Amino acid sequence: MPQISQLGESGFVSSQLFWLIIVFALVYFVIGRSMATKVVATVEQRDETVAGDLAAAESARAAADQSEEEWRAQENAAREQARAKLAEARARGAQASEARLAAANAELDAKGAEADARIAAARGAAMSEIDNVAAEAARDIVSRVAGADVDAAEARKAVESVRHGG
């Protein structure tokens, strides 16, 4: 067999080494250089995409933080406005209550003054009636004890002077 007979020859090993080096060089330059360049380009592109995505995410987060801050400011302003309206409503309610209370007090004072006037009139009428009864009683007593006849006007004057301390 001729293939086996070549094994013993020194040229066989050197030709095999020559072709081995050629194939490895070809593989190294074709695959290593062209593929490595493509792989490196892909990795760089991926790194750029990731960096861009991170920058976009950071920008979106900053915008969201700004929006949240604006929303909180609006919410706080709305709360303050609601508090102001509530305080205003309470003040109006207190004024209305005070006005109603003042009107009710005035009405009660008027009714109290009217009642005091009626009581004073009733007291005056009662005192006048008591004076009349006392004058009649005094006339009766004088007529029974002394047997004298006293005029009703004189008896009334005497009762009034005793009652008023005179």
Q: What confidence tens digit (pLDDT) does each residue in 22-75 have?
A: 998 888 888 777 887 888 889 999 999 999 999 999 999 999 999 999 999 999
Has residue 54 been placed in a domain?
A: yes
Has residue 49 been placed in a domain?
A: yes
Has residue 4 been placed in a domain?
A: no
Has residue 124 been placed in a domain?
A: yes
160 CB burial (10 A radius; 0-12, 13-18, 19+): middle
Q: Range of 17's domain?
A: 11-163
The tally of domains found in the chain comes to 1
Model pTM? 0.41
Has residue 139 been placed in a domain?
A: yes
Q: 2: which 2 tokens?
A: 């001729």
Has residue 5 been placed in a domain?
A: no
Has residue 35 been placed in a domain?
A: yes
**Which one has a higher pLDDT value, 122 or 33?**
122
Has residue 41 been placed in a domain?
A: yes
- Give the CA radius of gyration of the chain: 64
